[in-house]
Structure 1
């Protein structure tokens, strides 16, 4: 088997095993005298994930996760040429050399990493993602000429098919996760960073408690709860954000519900593996206090706050909790305010209702995605 045929085989293998992308991109780049490359998945204005060869790795994660992409013109201008011809475009087609090295992409990441001129292409996938393949030469090397672009274009159909396969396999995994939650009796949907539903099980599709909006988006009938859901979705890209991700809601016929949005961002560099959340909208059964350790983990409570929350769930008053712990009522009251802030409720009765959720008692055992 020739080296080219072997590399094409490895491109398709990388679609199923993202760990193979760095070496594959290095070898594709070498065919055009490039230092290496990066493959990225993008939806709307959000980067979902990426993989790169070793030469492009220094500083790339921090740059893509920061404000740089929003200030750079590289993607818009370079891919404008690439998309028009369905192939790779050289950076000097869209920029003067001075403009290229002044762009934040190069000034803040490329040049410090010893990289110079580039070539890139974009590939649209059926899932709505855009796959971008970006190759860089080292600083001081000439631009990508017609021969180098032709060598890269020879690999583009295989990169396109591999990107589409990776996206489809990822979507199949998300659908399987939603169906697995249905087996637990949990109405669930997988949403991306923009709030678009990527997969949903039959329980949530047939639920009277949610409204389906244009663009494959869902909303809650309870306006206050829907506002919390929208905020949580908006902050999915940041697992450490302050958004309340578990909260009570009222459904049809004033039925009590519990809503959870669990971030599943994955590792930033895993292609098609980040930037989504699991939304669960489940009716509340008879009250039953969940395990204290589970309460603490789900809502990021301190040990003391979790004990107060458990006490409220069991029907104890603040005075009883203080007496049991040998502390002051004022201390318990202050801790309860922190619990309210972290769980998104305002009253003790709401907290007790929230902690009665069957999905809490089941322990949020999600399938691997």
Structure 2
């Protein structure tokens, strides 16, 4: 009987890998077969700043409370050690929750006393690690009622199907990432231009490497517990409105998305944030893509200051220009003439003339028009510069 039940569940598990909307129903079936009364699938990723939970038979308010409160303070409440122990196990290995969090220790936590008990969850739980990814973790847990325990037969059945859960979830994650990159159009990041995806509550579902760098260099962006929270109230309100327009395309008659200008002090150039709907197909919008969260908006963050510094650096490395020559070259590329470029650089026209002759020699051109064509990409497609 156990063998037949395992075979039936394994087939359904791989169906869920290709149709993620089946996961909630599948989790209930697995839990029922193993004698559980509640079940959950959790995914947490420091890289993408995301946490999500599928728990079909739990009170939705308790799930939201877990996300909003306990996942924020939980790592100060012993969760870090539990996650470390979970990740130390190979993907597909079934563990007793009490191995991850000893009963006496867990019973003293606020999480147990203020949340766990109110959910009528016992400490007898079977847990399986679903990933071996660095830092990120996904797990599936099945729970008994208080003072109940799993039988040897129930444990054996879960151990038989757990490796398939891990493989299917890994497969689903890979498929979802590929589908999202195709539908969302996430391009390779470059200095000064980062891409992030947000769910409807501004939780970050995905952030590329340059976006991660921009979070550190632009404190005005605001990042709190994986949620984009601009420091300026008007910017935060505008972001919420634009995300809402992407989540519900009927909210904005003029079309979803838009632009936000984030100002900075000390005469520094502003940061531009472009907000667009993900462009995902209707079917894929209804499932979690990066992890388990559902991205509705894709943001492109452009830091002109950082972008300009990188372009100066590339000119210096590619053509051997001095910092002053590289700066003047970028001003020339704006196309309004030598005198205007000199004025923006704060130099005399005679100095600008000297700069230009030296730039011609180093780049290998004779006229200003040739320089602009070359660095705008007309003559050399490998360059990444363009006129503004």
Change (3 A) 1:48 1:74: closer
- Write out aligned runs for 1:24-43 (5 A): 24-43=26-45
- Find 1:151's aligned residue among 157, 164, 171: 157
* In 2: Cα distance, 1:44 partner to 1:188 partner: 17
The 8 Å contact of residues 37 and 56 in structure 1, kept in 2 or not, is answered as no
The 8 Å contact of residues 119 and 135 in structure 1, kept in 2 or not, is answered as yes
* In 2: Cα distance, 1:263 partner to 1:79 partner: 36
The Cα of 1:277 is off from its aligned counterpart by: 6.1
Question: What is the aligned partner in structure 2 of residue 13 from structure 1?
Answer: 15
* In 1: Cα distance, 2:171 partner to 2:159 partner: 19
Change (3 A) 1:257 1:75: closer
Change (3 A) 1:78 1:219: closer
Question: What is the aligned partner in structure 2 of residue 258 from structure 1?
Answer: 272
Is residue 100 of structure 2 the alignment partner of residue 110 of structure 1?
A: no
1:325-348 deviation per Cα after TM superposition (whole angstroms, max 9, x unaligned): xxxxxxxxxxxxxxxxxxxxxxxx
1:311-369 deviation per Cα after TM superposition (whole angstroms, max 9, x unaligned): xxxxxxxxxxxxxxxxxxxxxxxxxxxxxxxxxxxxxxxxxxxxxxxxxxxxxxxxxxx
The 8 Å contact of residues 52 and 293 in structure 2, kept in 1 or not, is answered as yes
* In 1: Cα distance, 2:51 partner to 2:87 partner: 21
Is residue 220 of structure 2 the alignment partner of residue 228 of structure 1?
A: yes
The Cα of 1:157 is off from its aligned counterpart by: 1.5
- Of the structure 1 ranges 97-106 and 60-69, higher mean CA displacement relative to structure 2 is found in 97-106
- Find 2:89's aligned residue among 59, 80, 84: 84
Change (3 A) 1:96 1:60: same
* In 2: Cα distance, 1:43 partner to 1:51 partner: 15
The Cα of 1:63 is off from its aligned counterpart by: 1.6
The Cα of 1:30 is off from its aligned counterpart by: 2.5
The Cα of 1:155 is off from its aligned counterpart by: 1.6
Question: What is the aligned partner in structure 2 of residue 295 from structure 1?
Answer: none
Question: What is the aligned partner in structure 2 of residue 344 from structure 1?
Answer: none
Change (3 A) 1:248 1:94: closer
- Which SS does the other structure have where 2:89 is aligned? helix
* In 2: Cα distance, 1:25 partner to 1:267 partner: 18
Which protein shows a greater Rg? Answer: 2
Question: What is the aligned partner in structure 2 of residue 280 from structure 1?
Answer: 300
- Which SS does the other structure have where 2:214 is aligned? strand
Question: What is the aligned partner in structure 1 of residue 55 from structure 2?
Answer: 52
- Write out aligned runs for 1:66-81 (5 A): 66-67=69-70, 68-74=73-79, 76-77=81-82, 80=85
Change (3 A) 1:102 1:58: farther
Change (3 A) 1:62 1:79: same
Unaligned runs of 5+ in 2: 240-259, 279-284, 305-388
- Find 1:247's aligned residue among 256, 261, 283: 261
| CA RMSD, Structure 1 to Structure 2 (Å) | 4.5
* In 2: Cα distance, 1:122 partner to 1:60 partner: 20
* In 1: Cα distance, 2:295 partner to 2:127 partner: 24
Report the count of equivalent residues.
255
Q: Which has the higher strand share?
A: 1
* TM-score after normalising by structure 2: 0.52
- Find 1:131's aligned residue among 138, 148, 165: 138
* In 2: Cα distance, 1:268 partner to 1:277 partner: 14
Change (3 A) 1:227 1:240: closer
- Of the structure 1 ranges 90-99 and 35-44, higher mean CA displacement relative to structure 2 is found in 90-99
- Find 1:65's aligned residue among 68, 85, 100: 68
* In 1: Cα distance, 2:296 partner to 2:275 partner: 10
Unaligned runs of 5+ in 1: 199-211, 285-369
* In 1: Cα distance, 2:5 partner to 2:294 partner: 33
The 8 Å contact of residues 16 and 166 in structure 1, kept in 2 or not, is answered as yes
* In 2: Cα distance, 1:277 partner to 1:53 partner: 26
Change (3 A) 1:56 1:123: farther
Question: What is the aligned partner in structure 1 of residue 227 from structure 2?
Answer: 237
